Amino acid sequence: MAYILIVEDEANIRRVLRKVLSEHDKTMTFSEAEDGVSAIALISKNTFDLILCDIKMPKKDGIEVLSYVQEQSPQTPIVMISGHGDLETAVQAMRLGAYDYIAKPPDLNHLLQTVRSALNVQAKPKKSNVKRIPKKYTMVGESDSIQIIHSMVAKVAPTMARIFIQGPNGSGKELVARALHHKSNRSDAPFVEVNCAAIPSELIESELFGHMKGSFTSAHKDRKGTFEQAHGGTLFLDEIGDMSLAAQAKVLRALEEHKIQRVGSDKPISVDVRVIAATNKNIKEEIAQNRFREDLYHRLAVIELYVPPLNDRRDDIPLLAQHFLAELSPRKELHPEAINALQAIDWTGNIRQLRNVIERLHILSDHHISAHDVTLYTTLNENP
């Protein structure tokens, strides 16, 4: 027996959903709400096994209902009902935690399959207060270039050697850095990442080395920098090619002396940090143009690794696509022709773009993902 809430502002759609589901399983019982406010009131007072929720509704929309469910009853699966123009919102809802979505007018087979699957997931016992096991960072692929990276990681991870990773955006440089940490003798210590391109130049020193209360206008309390936070572990300086020359000089000094000073303090602090750096820039050209310090490069690049673009390792696309899809939904399958279609795409956004496309196909396609689905859904606007 399942207790289902149907949230839909169109009475005829509520009637169709209820009729189809009750004919499929006469043990199902239903409540209905015609807007988001009424839905939230019902959810606050009842425990449902499944919620079917329209996206566009008066008073409160489906995204607001979804957010409420995620906060108050995260174990309850919620399936969104999407109109033709709501596909992007449906994608957003899936990323926010919705179990799945069905389009209007509902395909009856898809509706029943989705409801059955959601109820089966809901019926499984939930574990609470379980400590999450740290993710193992596996570089998926069998191409020659990936095998070289695997071999290098295995050799250098247990050492203290500093490592400099180069490769285009989205190619997996962070994954390589995390794999190096995971396989090192420091794997139980912190892994701290700094995106040097995302931090304004006037704040990078405080971010890296910390500051003392009152050292500048917004310094309301003492703060540890990332060098201190990573003490005993690994500091990953991502996109270091975007770091200012002034900050580069201070990083070089920290690497040479194994000491840092917080902004506003003259007291040196000893740090034990393994530094891994990465950039998408041609570092030799940056040095030639006096945009990157050559002495810092030599300090960082004891070992150099290059992560190639996805277009240079197309043989890995089938493995990567299956890996990403399995993470999202073991019950969906890629047709062989769909894999061929994926291999024919120009992957300017690399692994990150492929991951986004697989997520989109998972959301928008039926059980068997076809080559037509790949062609159709990779033409949607995307920011890799």
Segments of the chain with pLDDT less than 50:
124-136, 381-384
What does the pLDDT read at residue 135? 45
What does the pLDDT read at residue 87? 64
Confirm if 86 and 56 have CB atoms less than 8 A apart. yes
Q: What are the structural domains, with CATH classification, of the chain? A: 3-123 (3.40.50.2300), 144-308 (3.40.50.300), 311-377 (1.10.8.60)
What does the pLDDT read at residue 383? 45
Amino acid occupying residue 106? P
Q: How many of the other CB atoms lie within 10 Å of CB of 288?
A: 11
Residues 58 and 65: their CA atoms lie apart, in Å, by 12
Residues 377 and 361: their CA atoms lie apart, in Å, by 7
How do beta strands 191-195 and 163-166 pair? unpaired
What does the pLDDT read at residue 24? 86
What does the pLDDT read at residue 107? 77
What does the pLDDT read at residue 368? 86
DSSP tally for the chain: helices H, then strands E: 16, 16
